[in-house]
Structure 1
Amino acid sequence: MRCSPVALAFLILSVSVGATPDTYGHAQAPFTNPIASPFETRSGFIWEATNDKLRLDIGMETDLLRGECSDSVNSWTLGVGMQTWTRLRSEGKLKFPVETVDYWFGLHAAYGSQSSWHGRIRLAHISSHLADGVADTTATLHPAPFVYSREFCEVIGGYPFGPARVYAGATVVWSTQPRTSSPVIPQAGADVYLPVSERIGIAAGYDVRLIGIQGVYRAMHAAQAGLHIHTWNNTGILLSAYAMNGRSIHGMFYTESDSYLGVGIQILTQIL
């Protein structure tokens, strides 16, 4: 496994900056993660009902540094995150062979205010690997494994409109294997959060990005809507319905398409 600049920076920052107790209580971060984007850190599972597969997400994200600007309106954060996306195949009797796992880790910085313009930048590494769930009786993997690795910078900005937020940005990939992928991935979307009570609300989002392979761009559409339950401090549970259509999120199947409807649950570490 090659050592990337992002991996080195992640290691240095993780060692040199220790976590401190959260002194901000229930204060919102300057940039909340897009609800429907499949490439945000989250923990939970999605049962892909229309193709009988299961997606298991295991991730964490934390702000190592946080501060307020002199105008007492804008704030900033600097932190780290890591994530795995795992696709499992259902074979009944609670057996779910693992087909593929994608690993992501990186740094993020955010600036702005929830009531005005806000943005985030991420530097990250992602790689993808096949698992024994795609092996035949001779232990041969199908499809054949290959190296899938990317280092990228993602820049995204958003603006609120009442209970909604629109956002747009792009991912710039500066190092990639295979080299058939286009280096720029435009992205746009919208979120909405409608409070029902102090701790319960309805959350929904839509995210679309254009992904090019060998010069041919196709969209990846992701939509999500569900019930958000604020549990304690900055944590919550999101019970959602999901829809995915377009380029696969899994690197080992990046030339293929995902198309499914699903239901699932997420554990959130940000207030919506």
Structure 2
Amino acid sequence: MMATPSAASAKPTLDTMFSPLLADPLEPRIAVMPWLDKDYLQLDIGSSADLYQNEEGNFAFGIDFATYSLLQRSSNFKFPVDTIDYLFGVNFSWQKELEQCQLPFDTLSARVRLSHISAHFEDGHYDEDAGAWIGADTHPLGIPFTYSREFLNMVVALSSDDLRAYLGYQFLWHTIPDNINRHSFQAGLEVNTPGNTYLAADFKLLPVWDVTKKETDTFRGTWNLQAGWKLDAIGVEHVRIACNHFTGMSRHGMYFFDDESYTTLGVIVDL
């Protein structure tokens, strides 16, 4: 699951030292994931790239760019964009081979990200006939409103060829709206299964923003469970067919206070 460069590289490479977290819905990636229970479509466009990997193969510096879109599925092959989130930032990766480890792992790795993310309603959330934003009178923050966050995210992982377990922590050093708890936590597990398939689970403990108090009231567990098939065996590298079940706080900034539950099935590309 880990990329191991053999020589120093000072040019951009998509073969990142720290492999993308398979089930984390906020990893930069290319993905087309229709909802199975509602007329929505998730469209993600993005990637991480290492700008530098050292000769020892244990340190890398890179960049992240991503958009996460929620589209409506309507007739005549139209997909109005309801909301979109933009992320960009830098990352630092490190890894170390473990010798004589008593656990079923042979590599210890870590990644630190410094990122900005913002979110916006788009044309699919606007009623042209009424000349107004949809739900503007009932939205707890009013529409439009500003959603912007700058944060530090750290993930530490233990991995082998067929298994990876990780823990993560995120700190918001600036956020609009404010009065939300600055801390969140993450854990996950990835297992390669027969036939080039895999199972993955990502869990986040996220602050819940109370719309009445306009501040964090408690924390909520958020799960993204994924089963997939990697197409490497048929010569299509970095592409997987995946089924997700998501339950918890919405990944989209315009709905950051909403509790959601849905299942998706589609294609993910990890460049």
Bin for the TM-score computed over the shorter chain? 0.7 to 0.9
Q: Does 1:176 align with 2:171?
A: no
Change (3 A) 1:261 1:116: same
Aligned positions of 1:58-97 closer than 5 A: 58-69=45-56, 75-97=58-80
Code of the residue aligned with 2:119 in structure 1: it is S
Q: Deviations over 1:233-255 (max 9, x none)?
A: 99421111111000000000111
CA contact (8 A) 2:33 2:42 kept: yes
For the residues of structure 2 that align with 1:49 and 1:260, how far apart are their CA atoms? 8
Aligned to 1:141: 133
8 Å CA contact 1:249–1:258 kept in 2: the answer is no
Please give the alpha-carbon distance, in whole angstroms, between the structure 1 residues aligned to 2:191 and 2:55.
25
Across the aligned residues of Structure 1 and Structure 2, the Cα RMSD in angstroms comes to: 2.3
Shift of 1:76: 1.3
Matched residues in 2 for 1:62 and 1:233: separation? 22
Quick check: 2:187–2:202 contact (8 Å CA) kept in 1?
A: yes
AA matched with 2:158: Y
Cα-to-partner distance string for 1:186-242 (whole Å, 9 max, x where unaligned): 11011122464xxxx213210011111213111111111111112899942111111
Distance (whole Å) between structure 2 residues aligned to residue 242 and residue 118 of structure 1: 26
Which segment drifts farther, 57-66 or 226-235? 226-235
- 1:106-141 Cα offsets, whole Å, 9 max, x none, are 001110047321100000000000001011222311
Question: What's the counterpart of residue 116 of structure 2?
Answer: 125
CA distance in 2, matches of 1:240, 1:233: 17
Residue 255 of structure 1 aligns with which residue? Answer: 257
Q: Is the CA contact 2:10–2:53 (under 8 Å) kept in the aligned structure 1? A: no
Name stretches of at least 5 consecutive residues in structure 1 with no aligned partner.
Answer: 1-17
Distance 2:194 2:90 in 1: 31
Which consecutive segments of 4 or more residues in structure 1 shift more than 4 A? 231-235
Aligned mates of 1:35, 1:147 — CA distance in 2:
30
Distance 1:19 1:47, change over 3 A: farther
Corresponding residue of 2:101:
none
The percentage of aligned residue pairs carrying the same residue is: 29
Which aligned pairs between 1:8-157 and structure 2 lie closer than 5 A? 20=11, 29-69=16-56, 75-113=58-96, 115-136=106-127, 137-142=129-134, 143=136, 144-157=143-156
d(CA) in 2 for partners of 1:194 and 1:164? 10
Question: For the Cα contact (< 8 Å) 1:48–1:261, is it kept in 2?
Answer: yes
Matches of 1:104 and 1:233 in 2, distance apart? 31
Check the 8 A contact 1:30/1:118 in 2, yes or no. Answer: no
Q: Output the amino acid matched with 1:158.
A: A
TM-score, normalised to structure 2's length?
0.82
Question: 1:174 corresponds to which letter in structure 2?
Answer: W
Paired residues, number: 240
